Structure 1
Amino acid sequence: MKNFSYLFRLIILVSACISLQLSAGTPENGLDIFRKFSQKLQSLKTVNYHYTREFTYPAEDYHSKSEGEMYIDFSKENDLVGFRYQYKDQDGFSVFNNSGFFETSAADRTIHIKNRMKAADFEGLSALYNSIITLRNILPAVIGDKNIVKDVKDTLIGKKHFYLLNFTMQNRFPNYLGTGFTATTEKITFYNKLIVDRKSFMPVSFIQLKKGSRDINRTGFSDIVVDPVPPSDSSWYYSSYLKEYRQEEKNVPKIISMGQSAPDFTLDKIATAGKVSLHEYKGKIILLEFWIRNCSYCINAVPELNRLHRKYDPSKFKLLAVNTTDSRKSIEQFILKHQVNYDVLSGEETVNKNYGISAFPQMVLIDKNGVVIYSGDLNIQVLDSLISTNLQVSS
């Protein structure tokens, strides 16, 4: 791997070679280099690279360095934030699969799961700090902002020439996703330096400096492979790792107990534009399946649940699949791809909280009086028997 301290010293020594100023009256070819770099990142569909993150704060006698392997998928179906990723380092690995996020600890063999992500949740995820994702998203804003001073230099590292793209910002810096800028609470001038390969137009390093400070933040990108062999499908599901890692027990809710009254809810019906409430089915045996899109067990459950749906009289039995995590578009894609034949509902996550759902899939069977008679993992034999017995009793 490259020695980034050495790399930085070389940049400082030789970066004054060829300057293409981009301020008023500047040559257009300098700005074109920014554009070509941005276009290259926008064209990526999948990419794998070795990622290095290094902080050096001399005044505080602080130095931190971490590195790992990053895989990013920018496919169109990744609609929440425009990508999904897997990152692995010596401490464990983390996965964002377009809806949920999970990370493992190599030290204590635990897995932490967050089933519903929002854009704000990505701030602080170390694998995303000044990453290719950040650059891909922020460069169009940098190029289009006339208040950001930009220039391009030719720099020599070893015997190889690279582009050095500089842009200076006042009192703000890119957020982790690169979808905007984070404002500082004090006046700070940030000098941003991007080392770009002249042939591939892929990034080599992203360096951030502050005026009047010797602090250096830098991320490095090496061993870049465009359109690499993708990870296995099962690697995107946390359920694939539960035999090797135990789920973190902190604040894990307990699923609703047998004998309790099933909490009512009103959710959107995916097949139509309407809503449906649980109490509408009172007098029937109701099976609720709580599921998420990126779950191998949930995928494998579909044929068995389709069979249950076909087996019993719809006037006496109702199967409802509840997904309060994924977007409507993602759910519709899942239904089509896996040929789901029963009703699927979506809506507020409070339903999961009311039923104590912390893993997927989870099943809750409710009798005709609205009382829970089973709760827990998918066990078709047990559920089939209970449904059959209770339908005979209610006949």
Structure 2
Amino acid sequence: MGELAALPEPTYIPEKSCRQDFALGEPVKPFRLARVDGQAAIAPEGYRGRVMLLNFWGTWCKPCLEELPKFDALYRRYHESGLTLVAVATDEDAAPVEAFINEHKLAARVALGGEDAAGAYERPSFPFSLVVDGEGTIVATYEFVDETCLGELEQTLRTELAKL
């Protein structure tokens, strides 16, 4: 038993390229979710004319917690150029979500209780993210974005922002 306790935690290693092929070319699916901060509800159609990085995550998901602060840094860098980051937490309880937001000082728009919204994409694992163009069409999809994939995601965002 002691030997098992000494083993490092498993690390996620992508099986193929950073980008995935689910939902490409489809319109972003509609949803309306309450924001954790109590401001107006989040609905994807409210971000037409901007590039949206739509991230589905949960506080129970270690890769999600690693990825979201990196996405928030991209949001801060490109917000003025037309990027919106919508982080849809699948948690039902706001307390751990709020604690994570406060700990990392996230600027993203964070929605709560997005399990049904996430389920509409029929993904078997979390986290997953969609890049949505200014017309509301999904142009790129990703599962866990680690350091090796972050540059690719940033280039995708820059390409879409240049089209606005």
TM-score, structure 1 normalization: 0.35
Find the counterpart in structure 2 of residue 388 from structure 1.
158
The equivalent of 1:332 in structure 2 is 98
Q: Secondary structure at the match of 2:163?
A: helix
Structure 1 residues 256 and 346: CA distance shift in structure 2, 3 A: farther
Matches within 5 A, 1:134-283: 240=10, 256-283=22-49
Q: Equivalent residue for 2:17?
A: none
Aligned partner of 1:357 in structure 2 is 123
- Structure 1 pair 277/315, CA: closer, same or farther in 2 (3 Å)? farther
Partners of 2:89 and 2:114 within 8 A in 1: no
Q: Deviation of residue 270 (structure 1)? A: 0.7
For the residue of structure 1 that corresponds to 2:59, the secondary structure is coil
In the alignment, does 2:87 pair up with 1:321?
yes
Q: How does 1:366-381 map to 2 (within 5 A)?
A: 366-377=132-143, 378=145, 379-381=149-151
- 1:309 is displaced (CA, Å) by 1.0
Kept in 2: contact 1:302–1:338 (CA 8 A): no
* Secondary structure in structure 2 of the residue aligned to 1:257: coil
Paired letter, 1:387: L
What secondary structure, in the 3-state scheme, does the structure 1 residue paired with 2:120 have? helix
Deviations 1:161-186 (A, max 9, x none): xxxxxxxxxxxxxxxxxxxxxxxxxx
Q: Which has the larger radius of gyration?
A: 1
Q: Which has the higher contact order (CA 8 A, sep 6+)?
A: 2
Contact in 2 for aligned 1:255/1:357 (Cα 8 Å) = no
1:313, 1:329 → 2: CA distance?
Answer: 27
CA drift of 1:273 comes to 4.8
What percentage of aligned pairs have identical amino acids?
23
Alignment deviations for residues 42-93 of structure 1 (CA, whole Å, 9 cap, x no partner): xxxxxxxxxxxxxxxxxxxxxxxxxxx9xxxxxxxxxxxxxxxxxxxxxxxx
Q: Which residue of 2 aligns with 1:4?
A: none
Deviation at 1:257, TM superposition (A): 1.9
Counterparts of 1:323 and 1:256, CA distance in 2: 20
Greater share of strand: 1
Say what the alpha-carbon RMSD is for the aligned residues.
2.6
Unaligned runs of 5+ in 1: 1-68, 70-230, 244-253
Residue 288 (structure 1) aligns with = 54
Cα deviation, residue 296, structure 1: 2.2
How many matched pairs? Answer: 150
Per-residue deviation, 1:314: 4.1
In the superposition, relative to structure 1, how do residues 266 and 341 fare at CA in structure 2: closer, same or farther (>3 Å)? same
Change (3 A) 1:272 1:341: same
Cα deviation code 1:1-46 (max 9, x no counterpart): xxxxxxxxxxxxxxxxxxxxxxxxxxxxxxxxxxxxxxxxxxxxxx
User: Which 5+ residue runs of structure 2 have no aligned equivalent?
Assistant: 14-19
Q: Is the 8 A contact 1:255 1:356 kept in 2?
A: no
Which structure carries more helix by proportion? 2
Please say if residues 309 and 342 of structure 1, whose CA atoms lie closer than 8 Å, have aligned partners that are also in contact: yes
Could you tell me whether the CA contact under 8 Å between 2:92 and 2:113 is conserved in 1? no
